[in-house]
Amino acid sequence: MSESELDRPRAEIERIDRALIGLIEERVRAAHRAAEAKRAAGLPTLDPAQEAAVIRRAAALARDAGLPEEDVRDLFWHIVGLTRRAEREGSDAPTQQRQL
């Protein structure tokens, strides 16, 4: 496969990556709003049972999509961790910049 033949799939992957980042940002912002609502109601922001339900749901969706469940669980635990940090920071900013 030549470089020019790789251009289209690489562009598609980049488009998908941008969409994933946008969705993660959207998820973190929604979780931040949920944390604000929990604080206003006097509830703890950390909800391990809800987090576990999210992971189980992600694993079931992965299974239905023919993806490796364990890898998707790991990915979602990272996303949950990102969300926890955003909730703890109490900021509208989804994440701090990190160098890769």
Is residue 100 scored above 60 in pLDDT?
A: no
Per-residue pLDDT at 91 = 43
- Name the amino acid, one letter, at 17: D
pLDDT tens digits, 5-22: 899 999 999 999 999 999
What are the residues whose beta carbons fall under 8 Å from the beta carbon of 61, sequence distance 6 or more?
72
Average pLDDT for residues 18-42, to the nearest whole number? 94
Computed over every residue of the chain, the mean pLDDT equals: 88
- Is the dihedral angle over the CA atoms 84, 85, 89, 92 positive or is it negative? negative
Using only C-alpha atoms, the chain has a radius of gyration, in whole angstroms, of 17
| CB of 55 closer than 8 Å to CB of 73 | yes
Q: How many CB atoms lie under 10 A from the CB of residue 94?
A: 19
Confidence of residue 90 (pLDDT cuts 50, 70, 90): low
In the chain, where the domains are located: 3-89
What are the residues whose beta carbons fall under 8 Å from the beta carbon of 90, sequence distance 6 or more?
32, 35
Per-residue pLDDT at 98 = 43
Is residue 70 scored above 90 in pLDDT?
A: yes
Class for the domain spanning 3-89: mainly alpha
